[in-house]
DNA sequence: AACGTTGGCGTCAACGTTGACGTCAACGAT
DNA sequence: ATCGTTGACGTCAACGTTGACGCCAACGTT
């Protein structure tokens, strides 16, 4: 035959109904051992494989999950995608991937595309101002795991790192190293309510009292180049800067490079702390001190949360808050 | 209604048949302007969206493409995935992604999963010894773009960089810098017939004659750690090594780190050339001299080749060979 | 007036699988 | 012998959409 075998072909070969073949394929029971052997032999001979498209039309389950992020070239992401895909594969699922460039319109387009293809659920790093669309899809019945944000809606679970604590750890580390004139670089696309790192950092400074000056703040894109620009902005606000906390490692690396370019030694003249702990951070000189976000842990928790949503939807879910830790290297 | 609207719902609201609604949705013609307006209004009101699963069951087209690679944490890959996804999105397609860990059994599993979900085509970085399975899927009718290898089969097109030329450029660069005792690090998973870089490198040395010694070779995993191990292997074969060409940038960075750890200065004592041109290569010290593989170009060519296969399958395709260039920085 | 053409519809039967329910022979209990 | 139960099947009708083909009124040509 010049087309792929179907249940009907297998059934025809064995002399049973397609329904019976479906029972064997799906291990449903309700067939004799003899029938089972014959069906499996025919499956092998005809190279039958279930058509997941036809199956999805009936069961509304496609065996796929979607991963929606900002930009895949952010090194944090591929490691996470590998983790998520590994766990999804264990559950017999195939992964869609789409990046949104942190644009809510593109995220809406991606979610629409996934919804139209009956994905079993999605793991989303939300774009700015996209809670409404996430809530909408949750209400429509799409299981959604939101990462690094809080959305309360049916079928939505949240998994996030304790980023305020990360900010506090960074602040305390810089203070204990004797830094007194500090700055924080936050993400350009983050609204104030999502600047957890900055909030924790500033809170820790306030708690500590002491002789440090009030910290200055800047914004930057999540790239090395962004970090260079963020450094320049901080410096213009506080020329005798001696400590920096950046919201991700690429930005921190950029700040380090800009510091070096301006004749300041890291960490002698200025200490830098990042947040992520990407591999690159161990290879640059000096090696970056950073707040480690455990991607393996995040992958596991996100996929587990999605599995729970898929199996038992429309149940109330408490956010899962993952701990962070400071990894002290050379830059601070 | 507590379920998503279908063509039937829209048809019922307007008072036409579902087929007519389908004609409007798909811009097929064969309807009056008045009918079109009514249908579009009803679509808006009912928030109708085509069910891509149902559509795929009939048309055998799902509007999805699959990307199959080794490991997403290889920095070359995410940049490529962004490019491919961007181009796919322009064509209204959604991207599956799966990594295989360069394992042919996992690649077979991935292809089976994609095939069962009626992907329109796949772009594959082949795992070792996987030509047979690729040929098999090509014969079954799956459009396949193979990257960095050559597979001749129906429905298969190949896109690859001129890696032998990359090897030659690296060799000539090192020679012109006065290096005379050189080594090449190839991929552990590459069979001899796929060591294009090494072959080009050695060929250029043979052509050049001169007073350089025959190069030594080593194998390494595609990571910084792999590069450190590869460097050690080369060094054991040639203790007065003064030039290295690595098959990717991470390996080159690892070699640089190992050289520094052994007290050798890069490039003074030992010059290092990589291949890829990942972003990290510009940020490490010294910045890496490398053979640049243009990912934007590769994404475009791969997606274009896949589009051609999808639109006109079972046609003979000449491999697309992309040029490479040497980017001279500080390490060589 | 008759005939051929054609636009704007509609009908029908898939596509491959599965949920809901039906049939029937074999078996144990009475 | 009769009856109720049950395992091992089978039948039927979706699921939502589309390809193939049919119908019919309107129109132009003869």
Integer Cα distance of A216 and A218 in angstroms: 7
Determine whether the interchain pair B96/A284 forms a contact, defined as Cβ–Cβ distance below 8 Å: no
Determine whether the interchain pair B50/A116 forms a contact, defined as Cβ–Cβ distance below 8 Å: yes
Tell me which residues of chain A have a pLDDT lower than 50: none
| Cα of B175 to nearest chain A Cα, Å | 28
Q: What is the DSSP letter of A299?
A: H
Q: For residue B1, give the 3-state DSSP assignment.
A: coil
Integer Cα distance of A98 and A115 in angstroms: 13
Q: Evaluate if residue B315 carries a pLDDT over 80.
A: no
8 Å CB contact between B97 and A85: yes
Integer Cα distance of B143 and B134 in angstroms: 10
Topology adopted by domain A163-292? Rossmann fold (3.40.50)
Could you read off the pLDDT of B269-308 as tens digits, one per residue?
999 999 999 988 998 989 999 999 999 999 999 999 999 9
Residue B212, pLDDT score: 78
Nearest to B183 by CA among B263, B246, B258: B246
Residue A193, pLDDT score: 79
- State the pLDDT confidence band at B4, using cuts at 50, 70 and 90: very high
Task: List beta partners, residue A146.
Answer: A124, A158
CATH number given to A7-50: 1.10.260.40
The residues near A219 (Cβ < 8 Å, ≥ 6 apart) are: A185, A186, A187, A188, A230, A233
The residues near A30 (Cβ < 8 Å, ≥ 6 apart) are: A23
- What ipTM was estimated for this complex? 0.92
Integer Cα distance of B172 and B178 in angstroms: 10
Residue B319, pLDDT score: 95
8 Å CB contact between A65 and A123: yes
Residue B76, pLDDT score: 87
The region of weakest confidence among A65-69, A287-291, B189-193, B326-330 is: B189-193
Residues B310, B315, B319: CA angle, nearest 5 degrees = 90
Q: Which of A72, A94, A116 sits opposite B98 (nearest CB)?
A: A94
Return the domain boundaries, chain A.
7-50, 63-161+295-321, 163-292
**What average pLDDT is seen over chain B?**
94
Q: Interhelix angle for B249-261 vs B224-237, to 10°?
A: 60
Peptide bond into A324 cis (omega under 30): no
| E strand or H helix that includes residue B77 | helix B76-90
The region of weakest confidence among A228-237, B221-230, B304-313 is: B304-313
Q: Is B97 within 8 Å of chain A by CB?
A: yes
Would strands B289-292 and B325-327 be described as parallel, antiparallel, or unpaired?
A: antiparallel
For residue A177, what are its two tokens?
A: 């190293």
Nearest to A167 by CA among A183, A181, A153: A183
Could you read off the pLDDT of B70-127 as tens digits, one per residue?
999 998 889 999 999 999 999 889 999 999 999 999 999 999 999 999 999 999 999 9
Average pLDDT over residues B160-187: 96
Q: For the residues of B223-258, what is the DSSP string, one character each?
A: SHHHHHHHHHHHHHH-TT--EEEESSHHHHHHHHHH
Residue A1, pLDDT score: 61
8 Å CB contact between B317 and B305: yes
Could you read off the pLDDT of B172-185 as tens digits, one per residue?
999 999 999 999 99
Determine whether the interchain pair B284/A279 forms a contact, defined as Cβ–Cβ distance below 8 Å: no
8 Å CB contact between B256 and B331: yes
Integer Cα distance of B117 and A55 in angstroms: 10
Q: Is B64 within 8 Å of chain A by CB?
A: yes
The residues near A5 (Cβ < 8 Å, ≥ 6 apart) are: A46, A47, A48
For residue B229, what are its two tokens?
A: 């191990």
Q: On chain D, which bases lie within 7 A of the protein's CB atoms? A: 7-12, 14-20
A48 nearest nucleotide via C1' and CA: C16
Q: Is B272 within 8 Å of chain A by CB?
A: no
Q: Which residues of B306-321 are buried (b: 16+ CB within 10 A; e: fewer)?
A: bbbbbeeeeeebeebe
Q: Which of A49, A94, A96 sits opposite B94 (nearest CB)?
A: A96
Q: B73 contacts in A (CB within 8 Å)?
A: 75, 78-79, 82, 279
**CA distances for A76 relative to A82, A117, A227, A276, B263, angstroms:** 11, 27, 16, 7, 32
Residue A9, pLDDT score: 96
Q: B51 contacts in A (CB within 8 Å)?
A: 57, 116, 118
| Cα of A194 to nearest chain B Cα, Å | 26
| Cα of B85 to nearest chain A Cα, Å | 7
Average pLDDT over residues B34-44: 96
For residue B76, what are its two tokens?
A: 């070359």
Would strands A325-327 and A289-292 be described as parallel, antiparallel, or unpaired?
A: antiparallel
Integer Cα distance of A236 and A66 in angstroms: 42
Topology adopted by domain B63-161+295-322? Rossmann fold (3.40.50)
Place of tokens 């640089």: B256
CB of B55 within 7 Å of some strand D atom: yes
Place of tokens 């003064």: B242
Residues 168-227 of A with CB under 8 A from B: 224
Q: Is A96 within 8 Å of chain B by CB?
A: yes
Q: On chain C, which bases lie within 7 A of the protein's CB atoms? A: 7-12, 14-20
Integer Cα distance of B98 and B192 in angstroms: 26
Nearest to A52 by CA among A25, A12, A88: A25
Residue A320, pLDDT score: 96
Determine whether the interchain pair B116/A253 forms a contact, defined as Cβ–Cβ distance below 8 Å: no
| Cα of A50 to nearest chain B Cα, Å | 7
Residue B68, pLDDT score: 96
By CB atoms closer than 10 A (0-12, 13-18, 19+), residue A153 is middle
Q: CA at B5, C1' at D15: how many angstroms apart?
A: 13
Same fold, A7-50 and A63-161+295-321: no
Residue B1, pLDDT score: 61
Q: Which of A75, A94, A98 sits opposite B117 (nearest CB)?
A: A94
A14 nearest nucleotide via C1' and CA: D9
Q: Which residue has the higher pLDDT, A113 or B312?
A: A113
CB of B12 within 7 Å of some strand D atom: no
Q: CA at B26, C1' at D18: how many angstroms apart?
A: 11
Topology adopted by domain A63-161+295-321? Rossmann fold (3.40.50)
Q: Which residues of A318-327 are buried (b: 16+ CB within 10 A; e: fewer)?
A: eebebebebb
Nearest to B142 by CA among B121, B158, B127, B113: B121
The residues near B163 (Cβ < 8 Å, ≥ 6 apart) are: B148, B196, B197, B200, B275, B324
Task: List beta partners, residue B67.
Answer: B97, B123
Determine whether the interchain pair A94/B113 forms a contact, defined as Cβ–Cβ distance below 8 Å: yes
Which residue of A94, A110, A251, A286 is the best one to mutate when testing the B interface, meaning the one whose CB has the most B CBs within 10 A?
A: A94
Q: B279 contacts in A (CB within 8 Å)?
A: 73, 224
Q: Is B25 within 8 Å of chain A by CB?
A: no
Residue A191, pLDDT score: 79
**Widest pairwise Cα distance in chain A:** 87
- State the pLDDT confidence band at B312, using cuts at 50, 70 and 90: confident
What Rg, from alpha-carbon coordinates, does chain A have? 25
């Amino acid at each position: 035959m010049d087309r792929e075998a179907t249940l009907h072909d297998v059934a025809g070969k064995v002399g049973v109904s397609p329904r019976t073949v479906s029972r064997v394929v799906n291990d449903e029971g309700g067939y004799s051992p003899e029938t089972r052997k014959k069906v499996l032999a025919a499956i092998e001979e005809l190279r039958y494989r279930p058509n997941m498209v036809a199956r999805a039309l009936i069961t509304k389950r496609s065996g796929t999950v979607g991963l929606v992020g900002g930009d895949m070239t952010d090194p944090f992401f591929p490691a996470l995608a590998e983790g998520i895909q590994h766990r999804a594969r264990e559950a017999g699922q195939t992964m869609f991937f789409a990046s949104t460039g942190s644009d809510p319109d593109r995220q809406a387009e991606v979610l629409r595309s996934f919804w139209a293809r009956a994905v079993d659920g999605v793991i989303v790093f939300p774009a700015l101002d996209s809670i409404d669309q996430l809530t909408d899809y949750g209400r429509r019945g799409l299981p959604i795991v939101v990462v690094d944000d809080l959305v309360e809606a049916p079928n939505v679970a949240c998994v996030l790192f304790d980023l305020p604590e990360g900010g506090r750890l960074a602040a305390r580390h810089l203070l204990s190293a004797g830094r007194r004139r500090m700055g924080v670089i936050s993400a350009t696309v983050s609204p104030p309510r999502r600047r957890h790192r900055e909030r924790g950092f500033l809170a820790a400074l306030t708690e500590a009292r002491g002789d440090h000056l009030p910290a200055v703040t800047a914004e930057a894109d999540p790239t090395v180049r962004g970090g260079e620009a963020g450094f320049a902005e901080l410096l213009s606000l506080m020329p005798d800067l001696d400590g920096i906390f950046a919201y991700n490692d690429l930005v921190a690396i950029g700040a380090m490079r800009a510091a070096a370019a301006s004749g300041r030694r890291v960490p002698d003249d200025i200490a830098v702390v990042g947040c992520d702990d990407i591999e690159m951070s161990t290879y640059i000189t000096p090696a970056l001190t950073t707040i480690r976000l455990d991607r393996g842990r995040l992958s596991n928790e996100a996929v587990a949360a999605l599995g729970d949503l898929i199996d038992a939807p429309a149940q109330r879910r408490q956010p899962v808050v993952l701990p962070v830790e400071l990894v002290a290297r050379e830059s601070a």
